[in-house]
Chains A and B, each alone.
Chain A
Amino acid sequence: MTTQVSRSVSPKRSVQKSTPSFRQRFGDWAITFLKYGALIVLALSFLLPLYWMVTSAVKNDPQTYSIPPVWIPIPFFPENFVNAWTSYNFNLFAFNSIFRYALPVTVGATLSSALAAYGFSRVRWPGRDVVFYLCIATMMIPPQVTLVPLFIIFKDLGWVNSYKPLVIPAYFGAPYFIFLLRQFFRTIPDELSEAARIDGANELVIFWQIMLPLIRSALVVVALFTFINVWNEYLQPLIYLNRLELYPLALGIENMRRTIFQVGGTRLAYPYLMSVSTIIVVPILILFFFAQRTFIEGISVTGIKG
């Protein structure tokens, strides 16, 4: 008995290929030109504020207020960076931002979110998915709703004017990251957990020694995003920190702006503000360049699966 081998028609066969006419080639070239043109114009517009920030940082007063605007400051004054930074206690502010705020929160949020994500994905228990939906539903609650009561609670605990209200809640899970990490945990086959359980490992050991290392890239994404969000945070420190020595960078620079413009002599006001702004943005720039891939993958995963 002979068997017939059927061949599927390759789609390419049905598309006519012919040498493009001059008109077509011109059309293609025009589209390419428009594409790159649009991209370059957009890219320049997006970069303009940053370019303006950096060049203003090294200007002096006449250059700042000149009309028409000075695009390339010559001469320029890099000493503005050092002078602006030291004119206020920015070293302290940076220390606060990094060691009292960003790092503790990053560690706490990553760990607690991973624990919760594990509980929502690698363990079967009745009602698990319902509770999970409740968890992500809480993302809808505007922080303004809990703002006042939380402030009152923390005030009664005596935690106001310290980093405690800012750091401690981070150790109790963040729904956005619980969601993200749960998605990643779900990609690991059940058999791995089963095998480990048969070997006698308890759940905590499985979590710590097997599962966490497997989703390392997702953990990096969570840590990265948390760090940057905390670095940029303004409202929460504004509410809870009243002493200058506690200020993180965001509050520090705002304080600088208010004082500079109150004290009538606004000498080098804008250059100094732009200098400090540039310095504050640099760590994010560096983090971003080193972790660009991870960053972008992290966002796309939540967006598409979400």
Chain B
Amino acid sequence: MESLIQNNPGRFRFRRLTRAETRQLLTGLAFISPWIIGFVVFTFYPVISAFRYSLTRYDLIRPPVWVGFKNYIDLITIDPNFPKVVYNTFYWVLFSVPIGVIAAFLMASLLNTEIKGRSFFRAVFFFPSIIPAVVVAMVWQFLLNAQFGVFNAALQGMGLPTIPFIANPDLAKPSLILINTWAQGSAIIIFLAALQDVPRSLYEAAIVDGASAWNRFWNVTVPLTTPAIMFVLTTGFIFGFQVFTIPWLMTQGGPNNATEFIAVFLYRNAFVNLRMGKASALAWMLFVVVVIFAVSLFKSSRYWVHYSSDE
């Protein structure tokens, strides 16, 4: 299709479409019409609406009352829980995501070596990631129980002191990070596929040049898998900011608010305390933070992501 923009200096105008092009345009729009309608109704309008609600006080029973930016200001200044929530969320994102990515990458590298039964091990590593969060929460809560969970029962059996994994505020988040790492199956699969795409000839050339195993890993393997690392990192951050189900079910945001992440705090404000305005303000703050993170990641990718082909 020729450019639609007329090439006259000083003038900026779209040329008229030919009949065939018009037909194509209508056809294309027709096919994506479900998505467009869905986007407007279920995404665009609600996002704008959320901003409007964030400027009100609304408990679903009485009509919304305009309060300007009070929700935002109160959250930042006088809300007693907000600072903890922000700390928890950033702690979570900045620890769980890199740890998860590195662990997944190492396990995928292990799977990428010459081993028998790769499909079996791959299946074992992947399976935990598709177990329902409710089940994960219940099983791990049982497992980490301070008295008779399997770890502590074993410790007691050996006469050692127990570890209150989720009862201790300082251990709660690390315990959740452990569970999160256990469920990194899809990241392992993505990394494994990317690792297997690294051309063998590069490794051979490196060996000829006398590169050690570590050298080969750091200078061949890692750079060539940076697109996959970028993908896993980005989606990891985006989902990391939204973590809800496991902390809600396992620790209910405790103990002592140690696992009160922003999505948990938001849910509590919206559906337990019926503070829809405050919840909307929280939601928009989360939105802005996620966009900043994602855009920064994209901008930074120019410096460390190496694409071997351009589609």
Q: A135 touching B46 by the CB < 8 A rule? A: no
Looking at the complex, which one of B32, B39, B111, B227 makes contact with A304 (CB distance below 8 Å)?
B227
Min C-beta distance of B93 to chain A, whole Å: 12
Q: B46 touching A150 by the CB < 8 A rule? A: yes
Residue of B whose beta carbon sits closest to that of A224: B130
Q: B34 touching A172 by the CB < 8 A rule? A: yes
> Mask for B7-43, Cβ within 8 A of A = 1, else 0?
0000000000100010011011111101101110111
Chain A interface residue count, CB cutoff 8 Å, equals: 92
Residues of chain B in range 242-295 having any CB-CB distance to chain A below 8 Å:
242, 244-245, 249, 262-263, 266-267, 270-271, 276, 279-280, 282-284, 286-287, 290-291, 294
Q: A125 touching B25 by the CB < 8 A rule? A: yes
Residues of chain A in range 160-181 having any CB-CB distance to chain B below 8 Å:
169, 171-173, 178
Interface presence of B45 (CB below 8 A): yes
Residue of B whose beta carbon sits closest to that of A270: B142
Q: B270 touching A147 by the CB < 8 A rule? A: yes
Q: B266 touching A147 by the CB < 8 A rule? A: yes
Q: A149 touching B32 by the CB < 8 A rule? A: no
Query: Could you tell me the distance between the alpha carbons of A274 and B155 in the complex, rounded to whole angstroms?
Result: 22
Residue of A whose beta carbon sits closest to that of B244: A235
Q: B194 touching A304 by the CB < 8 A rule? A: yes
Looking at the complex, which one of B28, B125, B186 makes contact with A46 (CB distance below 8 Å)?
B125
> Mask for B146-176, Cβ within 8 A of A = 1, else 0?
0110100110111000000000000000000
Interface presence of B133 (CB below 8 A): yes
Interface presence of A128 (CB below 8 A): yes
Which residues of chain A are near B77, meaning CB under 8 Å? none
Residues of chain A in range 207-238 having any CB-CB distance to chain B below 8 Å:
207, 228, 231-232, 234-235
Looking at the complex, which one of A69, A123, A277, A296 makes contact with B28 (CB distance below 8 Å)?
A123
Chain B interface residue count, CB cutoff 8 Å, equals: 101
| Secondary structure call for the B interface | helix
Q: A116 touching B34 by the CB < 8 A rule? A: yes
- A234-B132, A292-B119 known; A128-B28 Cβ under 8 A: yes
Q: A250 touching B132 by the CB < 8 A rule? A: yes
Which residues of chain B are near A144, meaning CB under 8 Å? 242, 262-263, 266, 282-283, 286
Q: A135 touching B283 by the CB < 8 A rule? A: no
Q: B231 touching A296 by the CB < 8 A rule? A: no
Q: A124 touching B190 by the CB < 8 A rule? A: no
Which residues of chain B are near A142, meaning CB under 8 Å? 238, 241-242, 263, 283, 286-287, 290
Which residues of chain A are near B157, meaning CB under 8 Å? 67-69
Stretch with Cβ within 8 A of B (4 or more), from A47-55, A73-81, A83-91: A47-55
> Mask for A12-35, Cβ within 8 A of B = 1, else 0?
001100000000000000000001
Interface presence of B192 (CB below 8 A): yes
Q: A52 touching B143 by the CB < 8 A rule? A: yes
Residue of A whose beta carbon sits closest to that of B275: A148
Q: B35 touching A178 by the CB < 8 A rule? A: yes
Which residues of chain A are near B262, meaning CB under 8 Å? 144
Stretch with Cβ within 8 A of A (4 or more), from B66-74, B79-87, B201-209: B201-209
Interface presence of A119 (CB below 8 A): yes
> Mask for A274-306, Cβ within 8 A of B = 1, else 0?
100100110011001100100110011011101
Q: B192 touching A141 by the CB < 8 A rule? A: no
Q: A150 touching B42 by the CB < 8 A rule? A: yes
Most buried by A among B32, B191, B276: B32
- A43-B124, A49-B182, A299-B189 known; A146-B32 Cβ under 8 A: no
Q: B133 touching A118 by the CB < 8 A rule? A: no
Interface presence of A66 (CB below 8 A): yes
Most buried by A among B37, B43, B242: B43
Q: A145 touching B283 by the CB < 8 A rule? A: yes
Min C-beta distance of B140 to chain A, whole Å: 6
Query: Could you tell me the distance between the alpha carbons of A146 and B270 in the complex, rounded to whole angstroms?
Result: 12
Q: A172 touching B38 by the CB < 8 A rule? A: yes
Q: A203 touching B284 by the CB < 8 A rule? A: no
Interface presence of A201 (CB below 8 A): no
Query: Could you tell me the distance between the alpha carbons of A128 and B26 in the complex, rounded to whole angstroms?
Result: 12
Which residues of chain A are near B4, meaning CB under 8 Å? 126
Q: B39 touching A138 by the CB < 8 A rule? A: yes
Which residues of chain B are near A302, meaning CB under 8 Å? 190, 231
Q: B132 touching A231 by the CB < 8 A rule? A: yes
Q: B43 touching A254 by the CB < 8 A rule? A: no
Q: B266 touching A172 by the CB < 8 A rule? A: no
Most buried by B among A49, A134, A234, A257: A49
Residues of chain A in range 98-155 having any CB-CB distance to chain B below 8 Å:
112, 115-116, 118-120, 123-126, 128, 131, 134-135, 138-153, 155
Looking at the complex, which one of A42, A124, A234, A257 makes contact with B107 (CB distance below 8 Å)?
A42
Residue of B whose beta carbon sits closest to that of A132: B32
Q: A67 touching B276 by the CB < 8 A rule? A: no
Interface presence of B232 (CB below 8 A): yes
Residue of A whose beta carbon sits closest to that of B266: A144
Which residues of chain B are near A49, meaning CB under 8 Å? 128, 139-140, 143, 182
Residues of chain B in range 108-140 having any CB-CB distance to chain A below 8 Å:
110-111, 113, 115, 119, 121-128, 130-135, 138-140
Interface presence of B301 (CB below 8 A): no
Chain A to chain B contacts (Cβ below 8 Å), 12 pairs: A39-B110, A43-B121, A52-B139, A67-B153, A124-B28, A143-B242, A169-B38, A234-B249, A281-B131, A296-B122, A302-B190, A304-B197
The 4 closest A-B pairs by CB, nearest first: A172-B38, A68-B157, A119-B31, A303-B190
6 extra interface residue pairs, beta carbon distance < 8 Å, beyond A35-B110, A140-B294: A68-B153, A125-B24, A149-B280, A207-B31, A234-B134, A280-B135
